[in-house]
Amino acid sequence: RKAVIRITTGSQALDELLGGGIETLAITEAFGEFRSGKTQLAHTLCVSTQLPINLHGGNGKVAYIDTEGTFRPDRIVPIAERFGMDPSAVLDNIIYARAYTYEHQYNLLLGLAAKMSEEPFRLLVVDSVIALFRVDFSGRGELAERQQKLAQMLSRLTKIAEEFNIAVYMTNQVIADPGGGVFISDPKKPAGGHVLAHAATIRLMLRKGKGEQRVCKIFDAPNLPENVQIFQITPGGIAD
Ligand code: GTP
Ligand code: MG
The predicted-structure confidence for 192-228, as pLDDT tens digits, reads as follows 999 999 999 999 999 999 999 999 999 877 666 668 9
- Residue 145: CA atoms inside 13 Å, Cβ hemisphere, count? 9
Q: What is the pLDDT at residue 226?
A: 67
Q: Which 8-state DSSP code applies to residue 226? A: -
- What residue ranges of the chain have pLDDT lower than 50? none
Residue 92: what residue type?
Answer: D
β partners of residue 202: 28
Q: What is the pTM of this model?
A: 0.95
Q: Is the CB of 44 inside a 6 Å radius of any atom of ligand 1? A: no
Q: Ligand 1 centre and the CA of 36: distance in Å?
A: 7
Q: Is the CB of 40 inside a 6 Å radius of any atom of ligand 1? A: yes
For 79-111, what is each residue's pLDDT tens digit? Answer: 999 999 999 999 999 999 999 999 999 999 999
Q: What is the pLDDT at residue 1?
A: 78
Q: Is the CB of 7 inside a 6 Å radius of any atom of ligand 1? A: no
Ligand 1 atom nearest 235 alpha carbon:
30
Q: What is the pLDDT at residue 185?
A: 53
Q: What is the pLDDT at residue 224?
A: 67
The answer to whether the bond into 128 is cis (omega within 30° of 0) is: yes
Q: What is the pLDDT at residue 183?
A: 52
- Strand 6-7 to 22-23 pairing: antiparallel
Q: Is the CB of 38 inside a 6 Å radius of any atom of ligand 1? A: yes
Most ligand 1 atoms within 8 A of CB, residue of 29, 33, 35 to mutate: 35
- Report how far residue 81's alpha carbon sits from residue 189's, in angstroms, rounded to the nearest whole number: 36
Q: What is the pLDDT at residue 227?
A: 84
Mean pLDDT for the chain overall: 94
Q: Ligand 1 centre and the CA of 140: distance in Å?
A: 32
Ligand nearest to the CA of 72: 1
User: What is the complex's ipTM, to 2 decimals?
Assistant: 0.98
Q: What is the CA radius of gyration of the chain?
A: 17
Q: What is the pLDDT at residue 220?
A: 76
Q: Which residues make Cβ contacts (< 8 Å) with residue 11, sequence separation at least 6?
A: 229, 231, 232, 238, 239, 240
Residues with C-beta atoms within 5 A of ion ligand 2: 38-39, 70
